[in-house]
Amino acid sequence: MKKIQVLFVFLLSTVATDAQSLHLGNCPQPPVQEDFNVTEYMGTWYEIEKLPALFERGKCVQATYSPLADGTVRVYNAELLSNGKINSIEGVARVKDPSQPAKLGVSFFKGVPDGPYWVLATDYQSYSLVYSCSDYLRLFHIDFAWILARTRDLPEDLVSRLHDDLAAAGVNVNRLKVTNQTGCDVMI
Ligand SMILES: *[C@@H]1O[C@H](CO)[C@@H](O)[C@H](O)[C@H]1NC(C)=O
Ligand SMILES: *[C@@H]1O[C@H](CO)[C@@H](O)[C@H](O)[C@H]1NC(C)=O
């Protein structure tokens, strides 16, 4: 009973923050990047657009991935808050099944289950399209998506192509929010 209550409190807070990310039915299973090479994916990525996520509320949002000795990946997320402070969080990403290297799991807190991090498409050098979806009680799912880039902006036509990919995955692209990536000089 306790577990269920915790789950509902979590869900209520999520729903209250972003009702549009909750959908009936199970997660879609979009195709992911073929022959994904996690080594080539290392380094810094800047958030261009996202489906609202409650743990990211600043601007200049960026993620830096670096290889760890045990084969997992160090995740360092940073953003600039409106008060001028830099907010950061560290986590670990891992490929959970070597036969599906583009499907990673990311964990920011010890003891908390991984969140999915699926690379739907990337060329490693300019863009990446990331999708994350979790099923709850086999009744509904909550999803997140990110368009990431190696630079703080991406050409319109590329963004529009990634929108098409997301739409094909069943994501309502009208829910995407542009991340402010100007005035980010204080970020490293
Ligand atoms: C992944 O990329 C790295 C760096 O470019 C390369 O050395 C390695 O051979 C690649 N791995 C595979 C399986 O292609
Ligand atoms: C983005 O941030 C810059 C610098 O802080 C600010 O001047 C601009 O108004 C912001 N843009 C949007 C769309 O909020």
**Does residue 182 have its Cβ closer than 6 Å to ligand 2?**
yes
- Global confidence as pTM: 0.88
CB of 100 closer than 8 Å to CB of 32: yes
Measuring CA to CA, which residue among 26, 95, 83 is closest to residue 57? Answer: 83
**How many domains does the chain contain in total?**
1
Pick the residue whose CA is nearest to atom 13 on ligand 1. Answer: 37
- Exposure b/e, 13-35, CB count within 10 A at least 16 = b: ebeeebeebebeeebeebebbee
Question: What are the CA-CA distances from residue 57 to residues 60, 83, 103, 105, 177 (Å)?
Answer: 10, 12, 25, 22, 11
Pick the residue whose CA is nearest to atom 1 on ligand 2. Answer: 180
Q: In this structure, what CATH number is given to the domain that contains residue 55?
A: 2.40.128.20
**Does residue 152 have its Cβ closer than 6 Å to ligand 2?**
no
Q: For residue 153, how far is its CA from the centre of ligand 1 (angstroms)?
A: 27
Measuring CA to CA, which residue among 58, 59, 65, 80 is closest to residue 130? Answer: 65
H helix runs in the chain, sequence order: 2-17, 38-41, 156-168
Confirm whether 21 is domain-assigned. Answer: yes
How many angstroms separate the CA atoms of 103 and 105, rounded?
A: 7
Digit-coded pLDDT (tens) for 83-127: 999 999 999 999 999 999 999 999 998 888 899 999 999 999 999
Confirm whether 26 is domain-assigned. Answer: yes
Confirm whether 183 is domain-assigned. Answer: no
Question: Regarding predicted confidence, which is higher, 17 or 183?
Answer: 183
Site to substitute for ligand 2 among 180, 181, 186, 187, most atoms within 8 A of C-beta: 180
What domain range includes position 130? Answer: 2-178
Digit-coded pLDDT (tens) for 41-85: 999 999 999 987 555 578 999 999 999 999 999 999 999 999 999
Confirm whether 188 is domain-assigned. Answer: no
Confirm whether 185 is domain-assigned. Answer: no
Residues with CB under 6 Å of ligand 1 are: 37, 39-40
